[in-house]
Structures are given as structure tokens and as C-alpha cells.
Structure 1
Amino acid sequence: MVMSYHIVLADDHLMLRQSLRRMLEERPDLRVVGEANDGIELLTLLQLNSLSPHLVILDITMPNLGGIEATRKIKMTYPGVKVLVLTVHRDNEYLKQAISAGAEGYLLKEDMGTELFSAIQTIQQGGVFMSPFFSKKID
């Protein structure tokens, strides 16, 4: 039996969460165990439900508590949980903030269809993933 990798999604756009869930659930080894609309809901979900996900996929721009601060709080409270930022921001400053907050990945939403599974795999293997847009700029 395949050991499933538990994932929690946090994005204030329901349609995006639904399509992300559909993509993830095509893989038998990936399981979405929770969803949140913003950073506060995400932290509450993690605290109250003892989900202990392997990975949180979250947006940077969310109401109440954004993704950077949520990442910082997740890393302080649940250091074993990995974080993949999924965002529209093609900005080096956001990338730096996300990585310094502790995120293991930074994926542009425009790359979700082509890079999502390699981002998850890289993070599962202990690496740090960045959308190709940033890799080209850093080389």
C-alpha cells in the first residue's frame, strides 16, 4: 500500500483550492486533509484538528493573515511541516521573504499545471523548489 503524503491548502479563492485539490487527488500518494480560506483559519485548522500534514500549500496574499506570516508561524509551531508558497507574485522580494520565513518552495500559479508535482517531489526529497522564472534569473 502506498503511504499517502498529507497536504493542507490555504487560499482565499475557492475555485483555485478546488482545482488544486482535483489535481492533487489524481495522484494516489497525495491526500488533501484540510483547506483554509486565510492564514488564521489555517493555523486554527492545524491547531484544533491535529492534522499533522506533511505539506501546506498556501497563497501569499490572503485576508486576515497572509502567507509569509502564516509560514513563519507554522515553522515556529510545527517545524516538521513543509511549506510551498503558491502565488501570482513574480517578485524577488516576495521570494526572499517566503524563503526567509522558512518556505521550502515558491511556485507561481501560472506554473501550477506544469510544475506542481515536481515542486512537491523536490520538497519531499528535502530540496527547495522555485518556479523556473526565478531559476533563470538567479543563474
Structure 2
Amino acid sequence: MGAYRIVLADDHAMFRQCVKDLLEGAGGLKVIGEAGDDLRLLDFFQKEPPDMVIWGISMPNHHGLAATREIKMVYPNVKILILTMHREKEYVDYVLAAGAEGYLLKENADTELFIAVDRIRRGECYVSPLVAGGGTYSSFR
């Protein structure tokens, strides 16, 4: 079995690089592309859809909340992990209802990223404990 292929999408290049370095430092994960906006992100789907997209929902020229639903409709097997600064429950509810498998706060990415990716790879849902309210979303899926 080959490496688990991930595309990163965030409008901050330095943040993307840090996440890429973290992911590629782990065995079995490969960042196959990076995007700073949704148009560039969709280019990766034209070639060969990744196994997972890790992205921010507040990029310019992009509405991540609606785009999550669109990607899941066309590419239902692609896993989506939202990596964001937004703590509001409304964001979590919307993206999970739209089909995202995970919701991770940027402030905890260094300690939770591998946990989130691993759980999502195994078919589970992951929501950062800082927004999950002690497991509120554990049975969402």
C-alpha cells in the first residue's frame, strides 16, 4: 500500500510549509500538492483525487463551507479535515453536516494533527476537544 496522499490548502504559505513538514516527517503520509486558493486546489482533483484534503475554510476567493459540500458530492471518497482558527460551533456543525470528517483548530495542529489524520484514515470523525465540548461530536458519524 502506497503513501496516504494529502493536499494542503491554506492562504498562508508559511503555515502550509509547517504542516507539510509535520506530515512528511511521519511515515506513510505524502503531501502531493499545496494550494493557496480553491481554484488551485481543484486542479489536483483533475489529475488524481487525493486521499485527503486538509484546508482552511477562510481562504480568499473561496467559501470553504460550501466547497466542502461540493467536493464531497463529486469526490465522496476524499476525506476532508478542516484546519482553522474558527472555534464557533456553527462552523463545526456546518462542515460536518456538509461531509467533512474532521475539524481541527490551528492553535492545536502541532499536537493533534497526527491524531486527527489517523482517526479519519480509519473512518472515524475527529473534532478538536477545544470545540467538541468534551466529545459532543464523537458519535456524529
Same fold (TM over 0.5): yes
- Number of equivalent positions: 136
Letter in 2 for 1:58: W
Q: 8 Å contact 2:129–2:135 — kept in the other structure?
A: no
Question: What is the TM-score with the length of structure 1 in the denominator?
Answer: 0.92
Matched, 1:13 2:12: yes
Alpha-carbon offset, residue 74 of structure 1: 1.1
Return the alpha-carbon distance in structure 2 between the equivalents of residues 64 and 136 of structure 1: 31
SS in 2 for 1:85: strand
Matches within 5 A, 1:38-117: 38-47=37-46, 49-50=47-48, 52-117=49-114
CA RMSD of aligned residues (A): 1.4
Runs of 4+ residues over 6 Å off in structure 1: none
Question: What is the TM-score with the length of structure 2 in the denominator?
Answer: 0.91
SS in 2 for 1:63: coil
Q: Decide which of 124, 130, 133 is 1:127's aligned counterpart.
A: 124
Q: What are structure 2's unaligned runs of at least 5 residues?
A: 137-141
Deviations 1:31-50 (A, max 9, x none): 00011111222113312x22
Alpha-carbon offset, residue 70 of structure 1: 2.0
Q: What are structure 1's unaligned runs of at least 5 residues?
A: none
